[in-house]
Amino acid sequence: EAQVTQNPRYLITVTGKKLTVTCSQNMNHEYMSWYRQDPGLGLRQIYYSMNVEVTDKGDVPEGYKVSRKEKRNFPLILESPSPNQTSLYFCASSFWGRGSGANVLTFGAGSRLTVL
Amino acid sequence: AQTVTQSQPEMSVQEAETVTLSCTYDTSENNYYLFWYKQPPSRQMILVIRQEAYKQQNATENRFSVNFQKAAKSFSLKISDSQLGDTAMYFCAFRPGTASKLTFGTGTRLQVTL
């Protein structure tokens, strides 16, 4: 089944304790991205990657890191989490171009992160 | 920078009725893509419908259709014969043809009632 898998789905942590949210897709998509969703703000892009070893900042990159060493994986790293990073996080992937399925993001199930 | 505006934070519709969700966007691009995503209580993001700006014909997917007004930069979603399962948050999204970023609106929460 074509899908984007992210883990953990739920996490409660404390300020300053480094954590990683993993994201993996099995569709051979070049493009991957991380979003955070907060009430009243919609989804805001954190980082995105056009392909292996190519990453770039989105709208709200502060406090986050990413890497793209393999095409299928795009982990989100919070080096020193703070309470304002409490949010619902989504990983998504796609291929750009024309044709069926192009430009459509496939989302993971979401990761609810709470930083105390 | 592109912006996407959904001016209706919440809407309600009775089962079997028709409802229209509004979305406007701001861009200087001529080639772009527009999307409506649905987020039910399960939180999963599900594509409802998409529209390519170069296509004049409005996209339709079963009970879902759009009214794409390129000059007015408007992209509304019409849901016909509303069903209880349509209860969800709906997000409008925009992607320029030459860029990789997808910009979302703030969402419209739709409640379908009996």
For A42, name the nearest residue in chain B, comparing CA atoms only: B106
**Residue of B42, B102, B106, B109 to mutate when probing chain A, most A C-beta within 10 A:** B102
Alpha helices in B1-114 (DSSP H): none
pLDDT in tens, A18-65: 999 999 999 999 999 999 999 989 999 999 999 999 999 999 999 999
pLDDT value for B99: 65
pLDDT value for A97: 72
B110 against B3, higher pLDDT: B110
A42 contact B CB<8A:
yes
pLDDT band of residue A14 (cuts 50, 70, 90) is very high
pLDDT in tens, B23-57: 999 998 888 999 999 999 999 999 999 999 988 89
3-state helix, strand, coil in chain A (%, to 5): 5, 50, 45
Phi, psi of B14 (to 5 degrees): -85, 150
Distance CA A107, CA A2 (A): 11
Out of B9, B45, B103, name the one closest to residue A107 (CB): B45
pLDDT value for B109: 97
pLDDT value for B102: 85
Give Cα A74 distance to the centre of its chain.
Answer: 7
For A37, name the nearest residue in chain B, comparing CA atoms only: B106
Mean residue pLDDT across chain A: 93
pLDDT value for B106: 94
pLDDT at A108 over 80: yes
pLDDT value for B97: 80
pLDDT at A102 over 80: no
Q: Encoding tokens for residue B12?
A: 């309600």
**If you average pLDDT over residues A89-115, what whole number do you get?**
88
pLDDT value for A13: 94
pLDDT at A5 over 90: yes
A74 contact B CB<8A:
no
